[in-house]
Amino acid sequence: MIIAAAQILEGRGENYQRKLDVVCQDLDWTAVYMSYVQLSLFGIRAAVAQGNTLSEPYIDSYPAERVFYTPAKMGLLL
């Protein structure tokens, strides 16, 4: 859904790489890795966390070993 939102913004002539700043969370590690790779390739600022969104929603003090930040989020891309 995030990539679809980025495509809609791009279709409207907006720069999604500057407008989007998202947080994704999934229980499955494979989905976390896939999301991280795809969002990194699209240049979207994102924090991708592993965990159950219902019982332990993402907060800033989430365990560091369960959160991946895309290069754009870490300031490595424009």
Q: List % helix, strand, coil for the chain (3-state, nearest 5).
A: 40, 20, 40
**pTM, to two decimals:** 0.88
User: Is 78 contained in some domain?
Assistant: no
Q: What are the C-alpha distances in Å from 42 to residues 10, 36, 49, 57?
A: 12, 10, 18, 25
User: Is 48 contained in some domain?
Assistant: yes
Contact indicator for 46, 66 with CB cutoff of 8 Å:
no
Maximum pairwise Cα distance, the chain: 38
User: Is 20 contained in some domain?
Assistant: yes
User: Is 75 contained in some domain?
Assistant: no
User: Is 44 contained in some domain?
Assistant: yes
Question: pLDDT under 70 in the chain at which residues?
Answer: 77-78
User: Is 77 contained in some domain?
Assistant: no
Give the structural domain span for 45.
Answer: 2-69
User: Is 64 contained in some domain?
Assistant: yes
User: Is 53 contained in some domain?
Assistant: yes
Counting the structural domains of the chain, the total is 1
Residue from 26, 61, 56, 9 nearest 44 by CA: 9
Query: Which residue is listed with tokens 């999604």?
Result: 16
pLDDT tens-digit series, residues 55-65? 998 888 889 99
